[in-house]
Amino acid sequence: MSEQEVLDYVLACDELPTLSTVASRLISMAAEEDTTISDIAGLISKDISLSTKILRVVNSSFYSFPQQIGTIHQAASILGTNAVRSLVLSFTFLKPDQMRGSGFDYATFWEQSLFEAVAARMLMTAIGAEDSEEGFVAGLLQNLGILILARAFPEKYPRVEQRINEQQQDRCAAEQDIIGADHTFIGSEVVKRWGFPEALILPLRYHHEPHRCKTTSSALRQLCNLVYLAGLLAEVRDADKPDEALGFFKKQVRLKLNLQEKTLERFLEQVHTEVEDTAKFFDLKISPQKSIAEILQIANAKLSVLNLTYEQMNRALIEKTVQLEMLTKELEKKNTLLERLAHIDGLTEAYNHRYFQNQLDREIKRADRNEDVLSLVMVDIDHFKKFNDNHGHQAGDQVLRQFCDLCRSTIREYDLFARYGGEEFVIVLPQTDAETANEVAEKLRSVIASHSFSIEREHYHLTASFGVADLKPVRDGFGKNELISRADEALYAAKKKGRNNVVVYSQKKKWFGRTP
């Protein structure tokens, strides 16, 4: 059969996966210029089950929003059209319990698809790309063509798998030989007929060969590269020589992404736990995930066993037993270090948003037990977008790092400094009331305003605005979300006053603070 004949057969096949009514309509609506957020929210709200799932994910640590989101309209307004579309498509396709029979291993297929989706999303986040949810869906669906071919040709596709396993043949080549078309062509052509946007069609078509994608859009080329890299990393898990597969993955990352080595290593350390967490959000049952380091250790152990004689194995076993206690203590130290790295923002090395949310919960509980007070300071670098526009994002990134170093060196060691998002930061001050927090913020404001940020022999001066609010749980009738909201209101007031000043929240809205 020719490629076109295979495609025609697939499109007429009853076993072809289908889009839900909501997903199909949402794709066409998203392409219409006059579509509003209300239109999208109204469509999704008609499906109660889907709406419930979306709200559950939106309010989970998958997004870590500071406030509870109660309606689909609110979710759509905050996330945007692309992210909502991505969530709908994710729930539409992550239904492996409906795909059984024909001898195809659907459980393994969906587990690998989820891994690739999470890896693509994390890579997009690591490089600061927009619409990381687009990466999630592109990674999730990149091998949709495999699923389609397996269901359309249930007798032939096991021969493809056999050819891959026994003869080590490339999957696309095996599909071409046995069926007449490969999964990249079939998957991309099917979703094209479903009305998918180009941002999802191209990654399906070129996820094995991103260099063949000739689009003029740098964002789409980057998305194809990210999906390709996510697929390479997934191959490490089942490779006969995972160390070589990982080495090739790292080489491709260096070629295609401007990613710091430390950020890459942190990504490799966290990806397996992120996959497990994401599976829970989407009610997908998967096997326990091994870290990349554990995969390499197992492979090395198997290789060592093959090279040992029986006597050597006994000797090695005794030596390993003696070393076990020492290794256990060392492992505990390394686990503590890894746990800390999981809480750090890759660019600024400040604590990340998720860690801030969790730590603020703990500090509020501690203040409640001790009948104490704590303060929250929200910080926003003034006119930072204009700085990026004038001097470039690389200079902006360096300023952010220097800004965070300056703030951390100024506050107390046990105060929490975290990146809230973009150029906005938060400081949690335990055992500190609003008046004292105001003094801390004013000191920071003054230090920042007088500091010279040095980048490649150029010097820049920036200012920042501060919003302060405090909370004494035994006295006040509100919690974390209200504290964040009050600090945010104070920050907004500080910016309205002309920026480069500190404002402390007051219930009477009689803001007080200092203006330089």
Which residues carry out catalysis?
A: 423
Cα of first residue to Cα of last residue in the chain, in angstroms, is 77
SS3 262: helix
- Say if strands 502-504 and 464-471 run parallel, antiparallel, or are unpaired: parallel
C-beta neighbour count of 329 within 10 angstroms: 10
* Cα 299 to Cα 252: distance, rounded to the nearest angstrom: 22
Q: Is 383 left (phi over 0), alpha (psi -120 to 50) or beta?
A: left
Determine contact, residues 513/501, Cβ cutoff 8 Å.
yes
Orientation angle between helical segments 48-58 and 37-45, nearest 10 degrees: 120
* Cα 268 to Cα 104: distance, rounded to the nearest angstrom: 29
* Cα 117 to Cα 123: distance, rounded to the nearest angstrom: 10
* Cα 467 to Cα 379: distance, rounded to the nearest angstrom: 7
- Give φ, ψ of 321 to 5 degrees: -65, -40
SS3 418: strand
Determine contact, residues 229/124, Cβ cutoff 8 Å.
no
- Give φ, ψ of 102 to 5 degrees: 65, 5
CA dist list (Å): 128 to 12, 121, 198, 211: 41, 11, 21, 22
The token duo for 457 is: 């022999």
* Cα 267 to Cα 274: distance, rounded to the nearest angstrom: 10
- Residue located via tokens 């999208």: 40
Quick one: which of 94, 317, 323, 123 has its CA closest to 227?
A: 123
DSSP for residue 288: P
* Cα 271 to Cα 249: distance, rounded to the nearest angstrom: 14
The token duo for 268 is: 């490799």
CA dist list (Å): 9 to 148, 153, 473: 11, 10, 66
* Cα 466 to Cα 491: distance, rounded to the nearest angstrom: 5
